[in-house]
Structure 1
Protein backbone atom coordinates (compact mmCIF):
# COMPACT_ATOMS: atom_id res chain seq x y z
CA UNK A 1 0.00 0.00 0.00
CA UNK A 2 1.02 3.61 -0.56
CA UNK A 3 1.13 6.61 1.77
CA UNK A 4 1.91 10.19 0.73
CA UNK A 5 3.97 12.28 3.15
CA UNK A 6 4.44 16.00 2.55
CA UNK A 7 4.92 19.24 4.46
CA UNK A 8 1.49 18.97 6.08
CA UNK A 9 1.98 15.61 7.77
CA UNK A 10 5.71 14.80 7.82
CA UNK A 11 5.88 15.48 11.56
CA UNK A 12 3.67 12.41 12.07
CA UNK A 13 5.87 9.97 10.18
CA UNK A 14 9.48 10.33 11.33
CA UNK A 15 9.93 6.54 11.40
CA UNK A 16 8.77 6.06 7.81
CA UNK A 17 10.92 8.95 6.61
CA UNK A 18 13.92 7.55 8.47
CA UNK A 19 13.43 4.17 6.76
CA UNK A 20 12.99 5.90 3.41
CA UNK A 21 16.26 7.84 3.73
CA UNK A 22 18.03 4.61 4.73
CA UNK A 23 16.63 2.82 1.67
CA UNK A 24 17.81 5.64 -0.56
CA UNK A 25 21.32 5.35 0.92
CA UNK A 26 21.46 1.63 0.15
CA UNK A 27 20.20 2.05 -3.40
CA UNK A 28 21.82 5.24 -4.66
CA UNK A 29 24.98 5.18 -2.59
CA UNK A 30 25.91 1.50 -2.19
CA UNK A 31 24.24 -0.16 -5.19
CA UNK A 32 24.39 2.51 -7.90
CA UNK A 33 27.48 4.33 -6.69
CA UNK A 34 26.04 7.80 -7.19
CA UNK A 35 27.86 10.70 -5.55
CA UNK A 36 25.27 11.32 -2.83
CA UNK A 37 25.65 12.63 0.71
CA UNK A 38 25.17 9.77 3.17
CA UNK A 39 25.32 10.43 6.89
CA UNK A 40 24.52 7.89 9.60
CA UNK A 41 23.31 5.49 6.92
CA UNK A 42 20.77 7.93 5.46
CA UNK A 43 20.79 9.77 2.13
CA UNK A 44 19.39 13.30 2.48
CA UNK A 45 20.04 16.24 0.17
CA UNK A 46 19.15 19.93 -0.02
CA UNK A 47 15.89 19.26 -1.84
CA UNK A 48 14.53 17.32 1.11
CA UNK A 49 14.54 20.64 2.97
CA UNK A 50 12.06 22.15 0.48
CA UNK A 51 9.00 20.21 1.74
CA UNK A 52 8.64 17.87 -1.24
CA UNK A 53 6.01 15.14 -1.38
CA UNK A 54 7.12 11.56 -0.80
CA UNK A 55 5.12 8.69 -2.25
CA UNK A 56 6.07 5.71 -0.09
CA UNK A 57 5.20 2.03 -0.37
CA UNK A 58 4.86 -0.07 2.79
CA UNK A 59 4.51 -3.84 3.08
CA UNK A 60 2.20 -5.85 5.33
CA UNK A 61 4.68 -5.41 8.19
CA UNK A 62 4.43 -1.61 7.82
CA UNK A 63 8.04 -1.38 6.61
CA UNK A 64 9.11 0.95 3.80
CA UNK A 65 9.82 -1.03 0.62
CA UNK A 66 9.65 1.69 -2.05
CA UNK A 67 9.71 5.45 -2.40
CA UNK A 68 9.86 8.37 -4.81
CA UNK A 69 10.10 12.14 -4.30
CA UNK A 70 7.99 14.77 -6.10
CA UNK A 71 9.16 18.39 -6.28
CA UNK A 72 7.94 21.46 -8.13
CA UNK A 73 10.07 22.65 -11.05
CA UNK A 74 9.26 26.32 -10.42
CA UNK A 75 11.98 26.41 -7.77
CA UNK A 76 15.25 24.54 -7.14
CA UNK A 77 15.19 20.95 -8.36
CA UNK A 78 17.74 18.29 -9.26
CA UNK A 79 17.66 18.57 -13.03
CA UNK A 80 18.35 22.30 -12.90
CA UNK A 81 20.74 22.42 -9.95
CA UNK A 82 22.48 19.02 -9.73
CA UNK A 83 22.27 17.45 -13.18
CA UNK A 84 22.48 20.45 -15.55
CA UNK A 85 24.94 18.46 -17.68
CA UNK A 86 22.04 16.24 -18.73
CA UNK A 87 20.32 19.27 -20.27
CA UNK A 88 23.17 19.78 -22.73
CA UNK A 89 22.81 23.55 -22.66
CA UNK A 90 19.02 23.56 -22.77
CA UNK A 91 17.19 25.67 -20.16
CA UNK A 92 15.64 23.72 -17.25
CA UNK A 93 11.92 23.00 -17.27
CA UNK A 94 9.90 25.52 -15.25
CA UNK A 95 6.16 25.02 -14.89
CA UNK A 96 3.60 24.79 -12.09
CA UNK A 97 2.08 21.76 -13.83
CA UNK A 98 5.37 19.92 -14.45
CA UNK A 99 6.90 18.33 -11.37
CA UNK A 100 10.17 16.50 -10.96
CA UNK A 101 10.19 12.89 -9.78
CA UNK A 102 13.48 11.66 -8.31
CA UNK A 103 14.93 9.11 -5.90
CA UNK A 104 12.64 6.36 -7.22
CA UNK A 105 13.72 3.08 -5.65
CA UNK A 106 12.48 -0.26 -4.30
CA UNK A 107 14.00 -2.55 -1.70
CA UNK A 108 15.33 -5.48 -3.72
CA UNK A 109 16.68 -7.09 -0.54
CA UNK A 110 13.22 -7.45 1.02
CA UNK A 111 10.90 -7.87 -1.96
CA UNK A 112 10.49 -11.16 -3.80
CA UNK A 113 11.14 -11.97 -7.44
CA UNK A 114 8.34 -12.70 -9.90
CA UNK A 115 5.22 -10.59 -10.40
CA UNK A 116 3.02 -11.44 -7.41
CA UNK A 117 2.03 -8.93 -4.73
CA UNK A 118 5.09 -8.37 -2.57
CA UNK A 119 7.44 -8.72 -5.52
CA UNK A 120 9.89 -6.19 -6.92
CA UNK A 121 7.85 -5.93 -10.13
CA UNK A 122 4.56 -5.35 -8.34
CA UNK A 123 6.01 -2.81 -5.90
CA UNK A 124 7.64 -0.93 -8.78
CA UNK A 125 4.40 -0.70 -10.76
CA UNK A 126 2.38 0.17 -7.66
CA UNK A 127 4.75 3.03 -6.87
CA UNK A 128 4.65 4.25 -10.47
CA UNK A 129 0.84 4.13 -10.60
CA UNK A 130 0.52 5.83 -7.21
CA UNK A 131 2.93 8.64 -8.08
CA UNK A 132 1.04 9.26 -11.33
CA UNK A 133 -2.34 9.21 -9.58
CA UNK A 134 -1.10 11.55 -6.86
CA UNK A 135 0.28 13.92 -9.50
CA UNK A 136 -2.88 13.82 -11.61
CA UNK A 137 -5.11 14.49 -8.60
CA UNK A 138 -2.86 17.41 -7.61
CA UNK A 139 -3.28 19.13 -10.98
CA UNK A 140 0.10 18.04 -12.36
CA UNK A 141 0.04 17.21 -16.07
CA UNK A 142 3.59 15.93 -16.63
CA UNK A 143 6.53 14.52 -14.72
CA UNK A 144 10.20 14.88 -15.56
CA UNK A 145 12.29 12.19 -13.92
CA UNK A 146 16.03 11.58 -13.74
CA UNK A 147 16.56 7.84 -14.27
CA UNK A 148 19.22 5.38 -15.35
CA UNK A 149 19.04 3.12 -18.46
CA UNK A 150 17.85 0.19 -16.33
CA UNK A 151 14.86 2.16 -15.03
CA UNK A 152 14.21 3.35 -18.57
CA UNK A 153 13.90 -0.29 -19.66
CA UNK A 154 11.66 -1.03 -16.66
CA UNK A 155 9.31 1.77 -17.72
CA UNK A 156 9.17 0.45 -21.25
CA UNK A 157 8.55 -3.15 -20.12
CA UNK A 158 5.79 -1.96 -17.78
CA UNK A 159 3.93 -0.30 -20.67
CA UNK A 160 4.81 3.06 -19.14
CA UNK A 161 7.46 4.22 -21.62
CA UNK A 162 8.44 7.91 -21.51
CA UNK A 163 6.92 9.99 -24.30
CA UNK A 164 10.13 11.99 -24.61
CA UNK A 165 13.51 12.88 -23.13
CA UNK A 166 15.25 16.13 -22.20
CA UNK A 167 18.91 16.67 -22.99
CA UNK A 168 21.39 13.79 -23.16
CA UNK A 169 22.30 10.55 -21.39
CA UNK A 170 25.19 11.44 -19.05
CA UNK A 171 27.64 9.28 -17.00
CA UNK A 172 26.74 9.32 -13.31
CA UNK A 173 28.58 7.07 -10.83
CA UNK A 174 28.46 3.41 -11.88
CA UNK A 175 25.64 4.10 -14.33
CA UNK A 176 24.38 6.81 -16.68
CA UNK A 177 21.49 9.19 -16.08
CA UNK A 178 18.83 10.67 -18.35
CA UNK A 179 15.79 12.91 -17.97
CA UNK A 180 12.54 11.30 -19.13
CA UNK A 181 9.08 12.81 -19.58
CA UNK A 182 5.87 11.09 -18.46
CA UNK A 183 2.32 12.40 -18.81
CA UNK A 184 0.04 11.92 -15.80
CA UNK A 185 -2.85 10.69 -17.91
CA UNK A 186 -5.61 8.22 -17.09
CA UNK A 187 -4.41 6.06 -19.98
CA UNK A 188 -0.86 5.77 -18.62
CA UNK A 189 -2.15 4.99 -15.13
CA UNK A 190 -4.52 2.33 -16.50
CA UNK A 191 -1.77 0.67 -18.56
CA UNK A 192 0.58 0.56 -15.57
CA UNK A 193 -2.13 -0.94 -13.36
CA UNK A 194 -3.11 -3.52 -15.98
CA UNK A 195 0.48 -4.63 -16.50
CA UNK A 196 0.85 -5.51 -12.80
CA UNK A 197 -2.75 -6.57 -12.19
CA UNK A 198 -3.31 -3.78 -9.68
CA UNK A 199 -6.96 -3.27 -8.74
CA UNK A 200 -8.76 -0.97 -6.33
CA UNK A 201 -7.38 1.86 -4.23
CA UNK A 202 -3.64 1.61 -3.68
CA UNK A 203 -3.44 4.38 -1.08
CA UNK A 204 -3.77 3.63 2.64
CA UNK A 205 -7.10 4.44 4.26
CA UNK A 206 -7.30 6.79 7.30
CA UNK A 207 -7.14 3.89 9.76
CA UNK A 208 -3.97 2.47 8.18
CA UNK A 209 -2.45 5.95 7.97
CA UNK A 210 -3.08 6.45 11.69
CA UNK A 211 -1.56 3.05 12.47
CA UNK A 212 1.59 4.02 10.56
CA UNK A 213 2.03 7.31 12.42
CA UNK A 214 4.41 8.01 15.27
CA UNK A 215 1.47 9.11 17.45
CA UNK A 216 -0.04 5.62 17.26
CA UNK A 217 3.28 4.08 18.26
CA UNK A 218 3.64 6.39 21.26
CA UNK A 219 0.00 5.80 22.28
CA UNK A 220 0.87 2.11 22.51
CA UNK A 221 3.90 2.88 24.65
CA UNK A 222 6.38 2.33 21.80
CA UNK A 223 8.76 5.22 21.27
CA UNK A 224 9.86 5.77 17.65
CA UNK A 225 13.60 5.61 17.08
CA UNK A 226 15.15 8.86 18.31
CA UNK A 227 11.69 10.42 18.50
CA UNK A 228 12.75 12.93 21.13
CA UNK A 229 15.59 14.29 19.05
CA UNK A 230 14.43 13.75 15.45
CA UNK A 231 12.35 16.95 15.05
CA UNK A 232 15.27 19.11 16.18
CA UNK A 233 17.73 17.14 14.03
CA UNK A 234 15.49 17.40 10.98
CA UNK A 235 15.02 21.13 11.53
CA UNK A 236 18.77 21.69 11.89
CA UNK A 237 19.35 19.63 8.75
CA UNK A 238 16.85 21.68 6.79
CA UNK A 239 18.37 24.93 8.06
CA UNK A 240 21.85 23.77 7.08
CA UNK A 241 20.80 22.60 3.62
CA UNK A 242 18.90 25.80 2.89
CA UNK A 243 21.81 27.92 4.13
CA UNK A 244 24.26 25.99 1.93
CA UNK A 245 21.94 26.30 -1.07
CA UNK A 246 21.60 30.08 -0.67
CA UNK A 247 25.35 30.48 -0.21
CA UNK A 248 25.98 28.43 -3.36
CA UNK A 249 23.51 30.51 -5.37
CA UNK A 250 25.14 33.75 -4.23
CA UNK A 251 28.65 32.43 -4.95
CA UNK A 252 27.69 31.06 -8.39
CA UNK A 253 25.79 34.16 -9.55
CA UNK A 254 27.27 35.34 -12.85
CA UNK A 255 25.21 38.52 -13.30
CA UNK A 256 23.97 41.29 -11.03
CA UNK A 257 20.41 40.10 -11.63
CA UNK A 258 21.26 36.57 -10.48
CA UNK A 259 23.11 37.93 -7.44
CA UNK A 260 20.17 40.15 -6.51
CA UNK A 261 17.72 37.25 -6.89
CA UNK A 262 19.89 34.97 -4.73
CA UNK A 263 20.21 37.59 -1.99
CA UNK A 264 16.47 38.25 -2.13
CA UNK A 265 15.74 34.54 -1.69
CA UNK A 266 18.08 34.44 1.31
CA UNK A 267 16.29 37.44 2.87
CA UNK A 268 12.86 35.89 2.31
CA UNK A 269 13.91 32.66 4.02
CA UNK A 270 15.39 34.56 6.95
CA UNK A 271 12.21 36.63 7.35
CA UNK A 272 10.11 33.47 7.20
CA UNK A 273 12.35 32.01 9.96
CA UNK A 274 13.28 29.11 7.68
CA UNK A 275 16.88 30.23 7.75
CA UNK A 276 19.12 31.76 10.38
CA UNK A 277 21.21 34.62 9.06
Structure 2
Protein backbone atom coordinates (compact mmCIF):
# COMPACT_ATOMS: atom_id res chain seq x y z
CA UNK A 1 0.00 0.00 0.00
CA UNK A 2 1.10 3.57 -0.71
CA UNK A 3 0.78 6.33 1.88
CA UNK A 4 0.89 9.89 0.58
CA UNK A 5 2.45 12.35 3.03
CA UNK A 6 2.51 16.08 2.35
CA UNK A 7 2.51 19.38 4.21
CA UNK A 8 -1.11 18.89 5.27
CA UNK A 9 -0.78 15.54 7.03
CA UNK A 10 2.90 15.06 7.85
CA UNK A 11 2.28 15.93 11.50
CA UNK A 12 0.37 12.62 11.77
CA UNK A 13 3.18 10.43 10.46
CA UNK A 14 6.38 11.45 12.22
CA UNK A 15 7.52 7.83 12.79
CA UNK A 16 6.92 6.95 9.12
CA UNK A 17 8.94 9.95 7.96
CA UNK A 18 11.73 9.06 10.39
CA UNK A 19 11.87 5.47 9.10
CA UNK A 20 11.88 6.80 5.54
CA UNK A 21 14.93 8.96 6.26
CA UNK A 22 16.68 5.94 7.80
CA UNK A 23 15.92 3.84 4.70
CA UNK A 24 17.29 6.57 2.46
CA UNK A 25 20.53 6.61 4.47
CA UNK A 26 20.95 2.85 4.13
CA UNK A 27 20.29 2.89 0.40
CA UNK A 28 21.87 6.06 -0.94
CA UNK A 29 24.79 6.44 1.47
CA UNK A 30 25.64 2.93 2.64
CA UNK A 31 24.74 0.84 -0.40
CA UNK A 32 25.11 3.20 -3.35
CA UNK A 33 27.83 5.45 -1.98
CA UNK A 34 26.15 8.68 -3.07
CA UNK A 35 27.55 11.95 -1.77
CA UNK A 36 24.68 12.64 0.61
CA UNK A 37 24.60 13.94 4.16
CA UNK A 38 23.69 11.44 6.88
CA UNK A 39 23.23 12.49 10.50
CA UNK A 40 22.20 10.12 13.26
CA UNK A 41 21.51 7.42 10.69
CA UNK A 42 19.12 9.54 8.65
CA UNK A 43 19.52 11.07 5.19
CA UNK A 44 17.73 14.27 4.29
CA UNK A 45 18.61 17.52 2.59
CA UNK A 46 17.38 21.07 2.08
CA UNK A 47 14.73 19.90 -0.38
CA UNK A 48 12.99 18.03 2.43
CA UNK A 49 12.39 21.44 4.00
CA UNK A 50 10.35 22.61 0.98
CA UNK A 51 7.17 20.67 1.80
CA UNK A 52 7.53 17.96 -0.87
CA UNK A 53 5.06 15.13 -1.31
CA UNK A 54 6.33 11.73 -0.17
CA UNK A 55 4.91 8.48 -1.46
CA UNK A 56 5.78 5.78 1.06
CA UNK A 57 5.30 2.07 0.41
CA UNK A 58 4.15 0.13 3.49
CA UNK A 59 3.95 -3.62 4.01
CA UNK A 60 1.03 -5.40 5.66
CA UNK A 61 2.41 -4.51 9.10
CA UNK A 62 2.76 -0.83 8.18
CA UNK A 63 6.55 -0.96 8.01
CA UNK A 64 8.25 1.35 5.50
CA UNK A 65 9.49 -0.74 2.56
CA UNK A 66 9.94 1.94 -0.09
CA UNK A 67 9.68 5.67 -0.70
CA UNK A 68 10.17 8.54 -3.08
CA UNK A 69 9.95 12.32 -3.01
CA UNK A 70 8.09 14.60 -5.43
CA UNK A 71 8.72 18.33 -5.71
CA UNK A 72 7.48 21.07 -8.01
CA UNK A 73 10.00 22.44 -10.49
CA UNK A 74 8.77 26.02 -10.10
CA UNK A 75 11.11 26.44 -7.14
CA UNK A 76 14.43 24.90 -6.05
CA UNK A 77 14.84 21.24 -7.04
CA UNK A 78 17.72 18.81 -7.40
CA UNK A 79 18.15 18.79 -11.17
CA UNK A 80 18.57 22.56 -11.24
CA UNK A 81 20.38 23.15 -7.96
CA UNK A 82 22.44 19.98 -7.39
CA UNK A 83 22.80 18.12 -10.68
CA UNK A 84 23.53 21.11 -12.90
CA UNK A 85 26.17 19.06 -14.74
CA UNK A 86 23.44 16.80 -16.11
CA UNK A 87 21.83 19.74 -17.92
CA UNK A 88 24.95 20.49 -20.00
CA UNK A 89 24.10 24.17 -20.07
CA UNK A 90 20.46 23.65 -20.96
CA UNK A 91 17.99 25.94 -19.16
CA UNK A 92 16.44 24.49 -16.00
CA UNK A 93 12.96 23.03 -16.06
CA UNK A 94 10.32 25.38 -14.68
CA UNK A 95 6.70 24.35 -14.94
CA UNK A 96 3.79 23.93 -12.54
CA UNK A 97 2.84 20.72 -14.37
CA UNK A 98 6.31 19.16 -14.38
CA UNK A 99 7.40 17.71 -11.05
CA UNK A 100 10.70 16.18 -10.01
CA UNK A 101 10.83 12.68 -8.59
CA UNK A 102 13.87 11.75 -6.49
CA UNK A 103 15.01 9.49 -3.65
CA UNK A 104 13.17 6.45 -5.03
CA UNK A 105 14.32 3.43 -3.05
CA UNK A 106 13.16 0.02 -1.83
CA UNK A 107 14.02 -1.79 1.41
CA UNK A 108 15.20 -5.01 -0.23
CA UNK A 109 16.50 -6.45 3.04
CA UNK A 110 13.14 -6.23 4.82
CA UNK A 111 11.20 -7.50 1.81
CA UNK A 112 13.45 -10.55 1.50
CA UNK A 113 12.90 -11.61 5.10
CA UNK A 114 11.03 -14.91 5.59
CA UNK A 115 7.29 -14.45 5.88
CA UNK A 116 7.07 -11.15 4.02
CA UNK A 117 4.24 -11.41 1.51
CA UNK A 118 5.50 -8.66 -0.80
CA UNK A 119 8.31 -9.10 -3.33
CA UNK A 120 10.88 -6.45 -4.18
CA UNK A 121 9.64 -6.30 -7.77
CA UNK A 122 5.98 -5.93 -6.82
CA UNK A 123 6.74 -3.23 -4.26
CA UNK A 124 8.82 -1.27 -6.77
CA UNK A 125 6.03 -1.45 -9.36
CA UNK A 126 3.40 -0.50 -6.80
CA UNK A 127 5.44 2.57 -5.90
CA UNK A 128 5.87 3.44 -9.59
CA UNK A 129 2.14 3.08 -10.13
CA UNK A 130 1.52 5.24 -7.07
CA UNK A 131 3.76 7.98 -8.45
CA UNK A 132 1.96 7.96 -11.80
CA UNK A 133 -1.53 7.84 -10.27
CA UNK A 134 -0.79 10.56 -7.73
CA UNK A 135 0.65 12.74 -10.49
CA UNK A 136 -2.28 12.08 -12.83
CA UNK A 137 -4.84 12.97 -10.18
CA UNK A 138 -2.86 16.12 -9.30
CA UNK A 139 -2.81 17.43 -12.86
CA UNK A 140 0.90 16.78 -13.37
CA UNK A 141 1.75 16.21 -17.04
CA UNK A 142 5.36 15.02 -16.77
CA UNK A 143 7.75 13.74 -14.13
CA UNK A 144 11.51 14.18 -14.29
CA UNK A 145 13.41 11.53 -12.33
CA UNK A 146 17.06 11.70 -11.32
CA UNK A 147 18.08 8.03 -11.39
CA UNK A 148 21.12 5.82 -11.78
CA UNK A 149 21.57 3.52 -14.81
CA UNK A 150 20.37 0.50 -12.81
CA UNK A 151 17.11 2.25 -11.95
CA UNK A 152 16.74 3.31 -15.57
CA UNK A 153 16.94 -0.34 -16.59
CA UNK A 154 14.35 -1.26 -13.95
CA UNK A 155 11.96 1.37 -15.32
CA UNK A 156 12.27 -0.10 -18.80
CA UNK A 157 11.90 -3.68 -17.55
CA UNK A 158 8.69 -2.76 -15.69
CA UNK A 159 7.10 -1.31 -18.86
CA UNK A 160 7.57 2.15 -17.38
CA UNK A 161 10.27 3.35 -19.75
CA UNK A 162 11.00 7.09 -19.89
CA UNK A 163 10.08 8.78 -23.16
CA UNK A 164 13.22 10.90 -23.14
CA UNK A 165 16.27 12.16 -21.27
CA UNK A 166 17.72 15.56 -20.46
CA UNK A 167 21.40 16.42 -20.68
CA UNK A 168 23.98 13.74 -20.00
CA UNK A 169 24.92 11.06 -17.47
CA UNK A 170 27.27 12.22 -14.68
CA UNK A 171 29.23 10.45 -11.97
CA UNK A 172 27.61 10.39 -8.50
CA UNK A 173 29.57 8.50 -5.82
CA UNK A 174 29.96 4.85 -6.75
CA UNK A 175 27.44 5.11 -9.57
CA UNK A 176 26.11 7.59 -12.10
CA UNK A 177 23.05 9.81 -12.38
CA UNK A 178 20.85 10.80 -15.29
CA UNK A 179 17.59 12.68 -15.77
CA UNK A 180 14.70 10.70 -17.26
CA UNK A 181 11.39 12.15 -18.47
CA UNK A 182 8.08 10.30 -18.08
CA UNK A 183 4.73 11.49 -19.38
CA UNK A 184 1.86 10.95 -16.97
CA UNK A 185 -0.99 9.21 -18.79
CA UNK A 186 -3.60 6.57 -18.11
CA UNK A 187 -1.75 4.37 -20.61
CA UNK A 188 1.42 4.48 -18.52
CA UNK A 189 -0.52 3.67 -15.36
CA UNK A 190 -2.19 0.72 -17.10
CA UNK A 191 1.16 -0.61 -18.39
CA UNK A 192 2.72 -0.61 -14.92
CA UNK A 193 -0.34 -2.24 -13.36
CA UNK A 194 -0.56 -4.90 -16.06
CA UNK A 195 3.12 -5.75 -15.78
CA UNK A 196 2.95 -6.32 -12.02
CA UNK A 197 -0.61 -7.65 -11.84
CA UNK A 198 -1.72 -4.77 -9.63
CA UNK A 199 -5.48 -4.47 -9.13
CA UNK A 200 -7.69 -2.28 -6.97
CA UNK A 201 -6.85 0.83 -4.99
CA UNK A 202 -3.21 0.93 -3.92
CA UNK A 203 -3.40 3.99 -1.68
CA UNK A 204 -3.57 3.56 2.08
CA UNK A 205 -6.30 5.10 4.19
CA UNK A 206 -4.67 7.79 6.35
CA UNK A 207 -6.82 7.12 9.39
CA UNK A 208 -6.21 3.38 9.20
CA UNK A 209 -2.45 3.89 9.11
CA UNK A 210 -2.53 6.47 11.91
CA UNK A 211 -4.60 4.13 14.10
CA UNK A 212 -2.25 1.22 13.42
CA UNK A 213 0.78 3.30 14.32
CA UNK A 214 -0.90 4.47 17.51
CA UNK A 215 -1.70 0.87 18.47
CA UNK A 216 1.90 -0.15 17.78
CA UNK A 217 3.28 2.48 20.14
CA UNK A 218 0.66 1.94 22.81
CA UNK A 219 2.94 -0.51 24.57
CA UNK A 220 5.83 1.92 24.59
CA UNK A 221 6.73 3.31 28.00
CA UNK A 222 6.48 6.86 26.67
CA UNK A 223 3.04 8.36 27.19
CA UNK A 224 0.97 9.01 24.01
CA UNK A 225 0.85 12.71 24.80
CA UNK A 226 4.61 12.95 25.07
CA UNK A 227 5.12 10.88 21.91
CA UNK A 228 2.68 13.11 20.03
CA UNK A 229 4.60 16.13 21.22
CA UNK A 230 7.90 14.67 20.02
CA UNK A 231 6.40 13.74 16.64
CA UNK A 232 5.00 17.25 16.27
CA UNK A 233 8.42 18.76 16.99
CA UNK A 234 10.06 16.57 14.34
CA UNK A 235 7.37 17.39 11.76
CA UNK A 236 7.51 21.12 12.52
CA UNK A 237 11.29 21.41 12.20
CA UNK A 238 12.16 24.02 9.60
CA UNK A 239 15.88 23.23 9.22
CA UNK A 240 18.22 20.25 9.43
CA UNK A 241 19.56 21.47 12.78
CA UNK A 242 16.07 21.81 14.22
CA UNK A 243 15.11 18.35 12.98
CA UNK A 244 18.25 16.81 14.46
CA UNK A 245 17.60 18.50 17.80
CA UNK A 246 14.00 17.22 17.82
CA UNK A 247 15.07 13.69 16.93
CA UNK A 248 17.79 13.74 19.60
CA UNK A 249 15.27 14.90 22.19
CA UNK A 250 12.83 12.18 21.14
CA UNK A 251 15.49 9.49 21.45
CA UNK A 252 16.70 10.82 24.82
CA UNK A 253 13.17 10.79 26.27
CA UNK A 254 12.55 7.29 24.90
CA UNK A 255 15.75 6.05 26.52
CA UNK A 256 14.75 7.58 29.86
CA UNK A 257 11.35 5.89 29.78
CA UNK A 258 12.83 2.57 28.69
CA UNK A 259 15.36 2.72 31.50
CA UNK A 260 12.62 3.41 34.00
CA UNK A 261 10.54 0.53 32.70
CA UNK A 262 13.49 -1.86 32.91
CA UNK A 263 14.21 -0.83 36.48
CA UNK A 264 10.62 -1.51 37.48
CA UNK A 265 10.42 -4.85 35.72
TM-score range, shorter chain: 0.7 to 0.9
Equivalent residues in 2 for 1:1-277, closer than 5 Å: 1-112=1-112, 118-213=118-213, 220=218, 222=220, 223=222, 227-238=228-239
C-alpha contact (below 8 Å) 2:160/2:191 kept by paired residues:
yes
Partner residue, 1:263: none
Displacement of 1:60 after TM fit? 1.0
Displacement of 1:204 after TM fit? 1.1
Deviations 1:236-264 (A, max 9, x none): 452759xxxxxxxxxxxxxxxxxxxxxxx
Unaligned 5+ segments in structure 2 are 243-265
Partner residue, 1:249: none
Displacement of 1:84 after TM fit? 0.5
- For 2:12 and 2:19, the matched residues in 1 are separated by 14
- For 1:103 and 1:227, the matched residues in 2 are separated by 27
TM-score by length of 1: 0.80
- For 1:196 and 1:95, the matched residues in 2 are separated by 31
C-alpha contact (below 8 Å) 2:12/2:210 kept by paired residues:
no
Displacement of 1:150 after TM fit? 0.2
C-alpha contact (below 8 Å) 1:48/1:238 kept by paired residues:
no
Say if 1:123 and 1:239 are closer, same or farther in 2 by CA, change over 3 A: closer
C-alpha contact (below 8 Å) 2:14/2:235 kept by paired residues:
no
- For 1:8 and 1:44, the matched residues in 2 are separated by 19
Say if 1:240 and 1:210 are closer, same or farther in 2 by CA, change over 3 A: closer
- For 2:124 and 2:208, the matched residues in 1 are separated by 21
C-alpha contact (below 8 Å) 1:72/1:96 kept by paired residues:
yes
- For 2:235 and 2:61, the matched residues in 1 are separated by 25
- For 2:240 and 2:44, the matched residues in 1 are separated by 13
CA RMSD between the two structures: 2.2
Runs of 4+, deviation exceeding 2 Å: 205-214, 220-241
TM-score by length of 2: 0.83
Aligned length, in residue pairs: 237
- For 1:196 and 1:118, the matched residues in 2 are separated by 12
| Aligned-partner SS, 1:124 | helix
Deviations 1:27-48 (A, max 9, x none): 0000010011100000010000
Displacement of 1:231 after TM fit? 3.4
Unaligned 5+ segments in structure 1 are 242-277
C-alpha contact (below 8 Å) 2:11/2:235 kept by paired residues:
no
| Aligned-partner SS, 2:209 | helix
Displacement of 1:72 after TM fit? 0.2
C-alpha contact (below 8 Å) 1:66/1:127 kept by paired residues:
yes
